Amino acid sequence: MAYRIGSGIDFHRLAEGRQLWIGGVEIPHYKGAVGHSDADVLLHAICDALLGALCLGDIGLHFPDTSPDFKDIDSKILLKRTFSLIREKGYSVVNVDSTLCLEVPKIKPYVEAMRKTISAILEVSVNDISIKATTTEKMGFAGREEGLVAYATALLQKDH
């Protein structure tokens, strides 16, 4: 059986007056991520991990921020389209491991909803989606609450 592994990373600035979407879940906070789409840093990192596993480029290649088609788009749609590309190549997801880096808000209350959302899109069990979070101990742009980062690793397997 053929396996492929990919990694993804995404960054977004934070600004007041924006909604904060992480893992397909809206999180109440006075700041939200800035981007062409809904700026869901976690879903973007997962898209890149999936695409990278099959050498299909990155999220910017498939969903360019210069296209009006993707302006304010729900990143769950981007993940669904990415997953369709993976399925077209004859692969399925084994698991996804991810880490968020941000000082606030605390995401623990939202992790299960994120896992359910992502697992439903990727057609895997909730137990195949890992979401962890850490702070940067007040260091760097994430530590100053200017932005947030997500890292993701995805393992794919070739279908029979």
Exposed / middle / buried, residue 129 (Cβ in 10 Å: 0-12, 13-18, 19+): buried
Total domains in the chain come to: 1
Give the model confidence (pLDDT) of 61-114 as tens digits.
999 889 888 888 999 999 999 999 999 999 999 999 999 999 999 999 999 999
Mean pLDDT of 116-128: 98
Give the model confidence (pLDDT) of 12-56 as tens digits.
999 999 999 999 999 999 999 999 999 999 999 999 999 999 999
What is the reported pTM? 0.96
129-134/91-101 β-pairing: parallel
Cα 132 to Cα 78: distance, rounded to the nearest angstrom: 22
Residue 41 parent element (H or E): helix 41-53
- Expressed as residue numbers, the domain containing 77 is 3-158
How far CA 91 is from CA of 38, 57, 95, 126, in Å, comes to 27, 16, 12, 19
- Residue 1 pLDDT class (50, 70, 90 cuts): low
Nearest to 79 by CA among 107, 53, 104, 42: 42
Query: Residue 20 maps to which CATH number?
Result: 3.30.1330.50
Exposed / middle / buried, residue 61 (Cβ in 10 Å: 0-12, 13-18, 19+): exposed
Cα 101 to Cα 135: distance, rounded to the nearest angstrom: 5
